[in-house]
Amino acid sequence: MYSETFRRLNVLVLHGPSLNLLGKREPLVYGSVTLDSINYLLTEEAKILGCSLECMQSNHEGVLVDAIHDSLDKYQGIIINAGAYTHTSIAIRDALSAVRIPTIEVHMSNIYKREDFRHHSCIAAVVIGQISGFGAQSYKLGLYALVDILRNGN
């Protein structure tokens, strides 16, 4: 259980394009879990860890960039599944680099076992690390890793 000796952390979770279709979209790749259930799982885990958590999804690159910019002085960490923008968006990469907020990149599928174009992440160079291939648990693992790094510097 969360110890009160730790400071309360605020974490932003960003979901990119087409993740609003989870549960319907390519169930052989993403399973039957919905975005609402992932957000619920993360919110419950955040409570255990003593964190505040805000989740946001957008299919629009500029909205995600604005959310990253707006996170300054509001969040201590970001978890991002940029969806297809992972492989194409210099704008999201530059936004993450500009705010310098510790960020974990997550993917439900193992992007390295999929199409070749998914093997490259534009944002990997500006995030702490990447977790992929564990379905909805990728988000949970990302949250635990981020909180550990923010609190313990590991």
Choosing from 15, 75, 107, 139, the catalytic residue is 107
pLDDT (tens digit, 9 = 90+) per residue, 103-143? 999 998 887 666 676 667 999 999 999 999 999 999 999 99
pTM of the model as a whole: 0.89
Position 133 scores a pLDDT of 92
Distance CA 67, CA 144 (A): 22
Position 82 scores a pLDDT of 95
Position 116 scores a pLDDT of 77
Is residue 28 domain-resident?
yes
The whole-number mean pLDDT for each consecutive block of 10 residues of the chain, a chain of 154 residues, reads 63 96 71 89 96 97 98 97 94 98 93 68 95 94 97 84
Residue 107 is among the residues annotated as catalytic for this protein: yes
Q: Is 75 left (phi over 0), alpha (psi -120 to 50) or beta?
A: beta
Is residue 113 domain-resident?
yes
Domain with residue 122: its CATH number is 3.40.50.9100
Is residue 45 domain-resident?
yes
Is residue 2 domain-resident?
no
Position 110 scores a pLDDT of 83
- Domains held by the chain: number: 1
- 61 is in which domain, residue-wise? 9-150
Is residue 3 domain-resident?
no
Position 34 scores a pLDDT of 94
Please give the biggest Cα pair distance in the chain.
46
Is residue 102 domain-resident?
yes
Is residue 4 domain-resident?
no
Position 119 scores a pLDDT of 63
Is residue 1 domain-resident?
no
Our CA angle for 30, 33, 34, nearest 5°, is 110
Choosing from 30, 75, 85, 139, the catalytic residue is 30
Answer yes or no: are the C-beta atoms of 92 and 58 closer than 8 Å: no
